[in-house]
Amino acid sequence: MTLQPVLIAGEWRKSVHEATFTAENPATRSAANSDAYPVSSWADCDAALTAAAEAAVLLRTTPASQLAAFLEDFAARIEGAAADLVAMAHLETGLPVRPRLAEAELPRTANQLRQAAVAARTAAWQLPTIDVKAGIRSALAPIGPVWVFGPNNFPFAFNSVAGGDFAAAVAAGNPVIAKANTSHPGTSRLLAELAFAAVKHAGLPPASVQLLYRTSHADGARAVADPRTAAIGYTGSRHAGLALKTAADAAGKPIYLELSSINPVLILPGALAERPADLVNEFVGSALMGCGQFCTNPGLVLLVAGKPTDDFIQAVGQRFGSAPGGTLLSKAVATSLAASVQKLTAAGAKIVVGGESGQGAGYSFANTLLRISAAQFIRQPEVFQTEAFGNVSLLVVAENEAELAGIVDALEGNLTGTVYSDTRGADDATYDHVVASLRQKVGRLLNDRMPTGVAVSPAMNHGGPYPATGHPGFTAVGIPASLRRFAMLQCFDQVRANRLPPLLQDANPLGAWRLVDGNWTQDPIGTSGK
Amino acid sequence: MTLQPVLIAGEWRKSVHEATFTAENPATRSAANSDAYPVSSWADCDAALTAAAEAAVLLRTTPASQLAAFLEDFAARIEGAAADLVAMAHLETGLPVRPRLAEAELPRTANQLRQAAVAARTAAWQLPTIDVKAGIRSALAPIGPVWVFGPNNFPFAFNSVAGGDFAAAVAAGNPVIAKANTSHPGTSRLLAELAFAAVKHAGLPPASVQLLYRTSHADGARAVADPRTAAIGYTGSRHAGLALKTAADAAGKPIYLELSSINPVLILPGALAERPADLVNEFVGSALMGCGQFCTNPGLVLLVAGKPTDDFIQAVGQRFGSAPGGTLLSKAVATSLAASVQKLTAAGAKIVVGGESGQGAGYSFANTLLRISAAQFIRQPEVFQTEAFGNVSLLVVAENEAELAGIVDALEGNLTGTVYSDTRGADDATYDHVVASLRQKVGRLLNDRMPTGVAVSPAMNHGGPYPATGHPGFTAVGIPASLRRFAMLQCFDQVRANRLPPLLQDANPLGAWRLVDGNWTQDPIGTSGK
């Protein structure tokens, strides 16, 4: 068994480690590969922080075009190594090779890196603002070393050393210290090797990208609060995320968290009457996609009692019962999912179908549909908003539309909220009523489409009110907005023209969109170089 | 003595209070007026929160033009009542009637409200972003009830019921619960009366503006963490601000803090050789302005040893010694200032001039200049970054420019950083060296001008890294950016055209600047209403 080195300060070096761990193939419960990975001690964190702080100084004056070239080259390298990456990720996560890993997630990851490159090159994230007469100019600018903690469920697209937070932090001019998700260390290692090769090729400071596999919880908290740390991006469980948030908050460090979300879906009576079969298909497809292990999985469905709802539940139950269960990402996911179902049923949820752990070689759980009444939900809204991360959904059946609105009022913050309604307008009054409340509780409101598709669009919001995230003003997906998380606002007041950064110079050498005296323009200012 | 009522839920009502307090005239140490003010119990906070939550629902669908009309009417009412406001503020704060209160701060306050009105009307703060092909549209939107805690030093321009945070929160469509600064309750009452009259005139929900005078610290912490609270704006002391931050962070509430700042000013040797008299004048004027009680007061001056520096210190010392001391804002300010000077001298700072509390009728302190070496600073950087809020500045004399850079490296986050340099370029190498570090530590970098002027410009940043503020990405001054603190990001994914808010509709009925498919434009989208 080979103990893999960590990537610190521009070299793959032996970790100063406290322990080791291995990667498990969740489909077989056997080793995913022949490697061991270090649990770094504080010495590794300390060395990475020092190197990142030094890289941050250099990156501040690195042309954005060089950052963009790095991101694009890294994207190409990922595509070039697709076969190896997909094979490793498949072994470590149990996610299907096709279409999921090879045809969806890997291309998306390369696409995100390329979009981030464009944002870096055009400075589209920096909101340059110029008051010509007052002699004051400002823009968002790099913040400094960023820790990225990636989740278990997207080994490429949210990987700490290749995914959305990574792309955003680097495109904004910051060095990244990636903390691999411990369920796919091999995939993270391969991606870090590609990233580091691209770093060298682009001539970036060697410590622009660093990788640790794991630390103790105490060292993680210490790391995010360290004076050399500037900001943190975290995607994962609520419990671990809130522990990091407490440490970061106390030290005054901006931390951007994407935590749990149950993504309420409201199916209004008119929609169910109008297109029952479509709704069954769409819901089952979304709920079981990736074995339910999406941040935007529709975990809570709100319905109004009646024959169409009974039929819907019966049809979905049949489909859940007959669909293959799929493999869960890890033992931890399987354990947590079983515990969540136990908690929900103990509180009174009735099992429509499923409810049992799987008996196969891998970690699995029967596709599970649970059901409660609106009255039950309202009595214990906290318990019934327990996230069951995996292929489990909870249906809540209201007696009428007023009860439906009452459920919405009791929801906590979520990434998404979805409303299906009659296309001819029969549900419009109910829609207006429930959306007035729902709109404030979710980052993304959908009509007539399940929430599991998260387009990498400039208009996307993959965020939402606490506790879905740590701040409702920011998004983790959607470029250029996602870059603004890893930025500080810098104002230049009467700073001499020759000392301004290119983005704020009269000539606008980057051709950026800038807010000049209240209007957005790509034009230079005047002709006098004042 | 009249016990003043609080403004809750659209009426001036008797407070459910725990105690009372009075306003003191700091120039005479006698009562500023014949009123008493309540220390509200939790019952008042609870009632205000319930009313604010209800107002927030209505405000979300209130046209921005109506918010703008309110802000403009309020500005006009402030100007109409200027004589009374200035008289009251003068009695409560000791700040001069002219030019400070009547000619500078009150007009600035009205101007801020009018700028906020323009931002509301044009939606300039919302960053509307449209991906036409993907059917995804997003924008910043109102967040909900906002608590505003105003500071002692600007009874108008940062007043919790009329100042910058108030204007930003309301212009962004949120109800405000103002917590008056307890050193000027009468001024806050007069402003709240004007605001409430304007609320009624504009037809806003009556609880759009509410006022409490004071609460216990425990109730303050409970209020910011309450589920009905959406966000908090705080300007004031570091100690009280961090206590609120701890409570807000634990509840996942965005809190924007403007805390202490010592605003380092670097005077490079070439500048001092070139224009010594100007520098003495500029520094003395800025340091003693408002008796030094500005957030951006130049509290720390960094110099390089030599004859010009000796001359500068001698000249400033003479000017400090002969200038009138001025009245401090309150007993608390006087006590805190004396304690800070005691702390600095105990750590080894040498008194060039001043150092004693004043002996007059009011609260005062002798204009005070302290001096240390760079070596002293580097040995105890924390102690020597103690804010002395008032007419006290600390000079640090470095042996050479390398030492100067060492001091900059040891600075914590500040609102501003200023560098004076030779206009002909003699200091350019030093400038580049020190600014590489200074730039990351301050929100606003100035050249050749003292930091005490804070223009209300779209490009202004009145913010900076922790602990100057709670988040380096936001500014408390500068419209429209300051409004973005009190916002959540709302995405509309496949939402039907007739359900989109006006800001995101194809026709662009507001004529707003929008980022459509990567370009900023005020044009409508297509002509088909798709």
Give yes or no: residues A298 and A254 share one domain.
Answer: no
Residue B318: inside a domain, yes or no?
Answer: yes
Residue A510: inside a domain, yes or no?
Answer: no
Residue A47 has pLDDT above 80, yes or no: yes
pLDDT band at A530 (very low <50, low <70, confident <90, very high): very low
Lateral strand order in the sheet of B231-235 = B11-13, B6-8, B209-212, B176-179, B146-149, B231-235, B255-258
Single out the residue in B402, B432, B447 at which a domain terminates.
B447
Please tell me which residue in B72, B258, B282, B403 is annotated as part of the active site: B258
pLDDT band at A529 (very low <50, low <70, confident <90, very high): very low
Token match 């495109």: residue? A171
Residue A470: inside a domain, yes or no?
Answer: no
Cβ <8 Å between A489 and B144: no
pLDDT at A1: 85
Residue B77: inside a domain, yes or no?
Answer: yes
Provide the β-strand partners of residue A488.
Answer: A141
pLDDT band at A527 (very low <50, low <70, confident <90, very high): low
pLDDT at B260: 87
Whether B129 has its CB under 8 Å from any CB of chain A: the answer is yes
- Under 8 Å between Cβ of A130 and A137: yes
Three-state DSSP at A95 gives: coil
**Which residue among A57, A61, A472 places its CB closest to the CB of B489?**
A472
Positions in chain B whose pLDDT score sits under 70:
527-530
Residue A178 has pLDDT above 50, yes or no: yes
Give all strands (DSSP E) within A101-186, no chain letters: 129-131, 136-142, 146-149, 176-179
For residue A471, which residues of chain B lie inside 8 Å, CB to CB?
254
Give yes or no: residues B338 and B230 share one domain.
Answer: no
pLDDT at B453: 86
Lateral strand order in the sheet of A350-353 = A350-353, A368-373, A392-398, A300-304, A264-267, A414-420, A442-447, B487-493, B136-142, B129-131, B514-516, B519-521
For residue B127, which residues of chain A lie inside 8 Å, CB to CB?
481
- Under 8 Å between Cβ of B436 and A57: yes
Which of B58, B62, B138, B414 to mutate: most A Cβ within 10 Å?
Answer: B138
Q: What is the CATH number of the domain that holds A414?
A: 3.40.309.10
Phi and psi for A290 in degrees, rounded to 5? 60, 30
Residue A528 has pLDDT above 80, yes or no: no
Dist CA B472 CA A463 (whole Å): 20
Residue type, A277: A
Give yes or no: residues A221 and A284 share one domain.
Answer: no
Is B258 marked active-site? yes
In terms of DSSP H, where are the helices of B325-365?
A: 331-346
Give yes or no: residues B177 and B84 share one domain.
Answer: yes
H and E: helices and strands count for chain B: 15, 24
Residue B203: inside a domain, yes or no?
Answer: yes
Give yes or no: residues A352 and A236 share one domain.
Answer: no
* Contact residues for A74 (Cβ-Cβ < 8 A; gap 6+): A113, A162, A194, A195, A198
Residue A425: inside a domain, yes or no?
Answer: yes
Dist CA A292 CA A286 (whole Å): 8
Write out pLDDT tens, residues A494-518: 999 999 999 999 999 999 999 999 9
- Under 8 Å between Cβ of A367 and A320: yes
**Which residue among A455, A491, A515 places its CB closest to the CB of B460?**
A491
Write out pLDDT tens, residues A127-147: 999 999 999 999 999 999 999
Give yes or no: residues B348 and B246 share one domain.
Answer: no
Three-state DSSP at A40 gives: strand
Give yes or no: residues A286 and A194 share one domain.
Answer: no
Whether A491 has its CB under 8 Å from any CB of chain B: the answer is yes
- Residues 134-173 on B with a CB inside 8 Å of A are 134, 136-138, 140, 143-144
Cβ <8 Å between B445 and A131: no
**Which residue among B459, B485, B492 places its CB closest to the CB of A138?**
B459
Rounded percentage of chain A residues whose pLDDT exceeds 90: 98
For residue B249, which residues of chain A lie inside 8 Å, CB to CB?
245-246, 249-250
Write out pLDDT tens, residues A20-45: 999 999 999 999 999 999 999 999 99
Residue A165 has pLDDT above 80, yes or no: yes
Residue A55 has pLDDT above 90, yes or no: yes
Give yes or no: residues B223 and B289 share one domain.
Answer: no
Cβ <8 Å between A136 and B460: yes
Residue B367: inside a domain, yes or no?
Answer: yes
**Cα dihedral sign, A437-A441-A445-A449:** negative
Token match 């004048």: residue? B281
What's the burial of B523, exposed, middle or buried (CB within 10 Å: 0-12/13-18/19+)? exposed
Q: How many angstroms separate the CA of residue A282 from the nearest CA in chain B?
A: 15
Under the phi-then-psi rule, with left for phi > 0, alpha for psi from -120 to 50, and beta for the rest, what region is A19? beta
Give yes or no: residues A274 and A244 share one domain.
Answer: no
Q: How many domains are contained in chain A?
A: 2
Residue B160: give the domain boundaries.
Answer: 2-21+30-259+476-483
Residue A112: inside a domain, yes or no?
Answer: yes
Whether A497 has its CB under 8 Å from any CB of chain B: the answer is no
Dist CA A268 CA A272 (whole Å): 7
Give yes or no: residues B430 and B304 share one domain.
Answer: yes
Phi and psi for A420 in degrees, rounded to 5? -95, 130
- What mean pLDDT do residues A446-465 have? 96
**Which residue among B460, B471, B489 places its CB closest to the CB of A463?**
B489
Which of A115, A461, A482, A503 to mutate: most B Cβ within 10 Å?
Answer: A461
Cβ <8 Å between A473 and B140: yes
Three-state DSSP at A492 gives: strand
Q: What is the CATH number of the domain that holds A80?
A: 3.40.605.10
Dist CA A353 CA B476 (whole Å): 54
Asked if omega into B458 is within 30° of 0 (cis), the reply is no
Give yes or no: residues A310 and A382 share one domain.
Answer: yes
Write out pLDDT tens, residues A294-313: 999 999 999 999 999 999 99
Dist CA B369 CA B382 (whole Å): 19
Taking the CB of residue A275, how many other CB atoms lie within 10 A of it? 16
For residue A60, which residues of chain B lie inside 8 Å, CB to CB?
436, 439-440
Cβ <8 Å between A140 and B466: no
DSSP B178: E
Dist CA A388 CA A22 (whole Å): 26
More confident residue, A528 or B202: B202
- What mean pLDDT do residues A306-322 have? 98
Dist CA A22 CA A11 (whole Å): 22
pLDDT at A453: 86
- What mean pLDDT do residues A306-326 have? 96
Give yes or no: residues A247 and A286 share one domain.
Answer: no
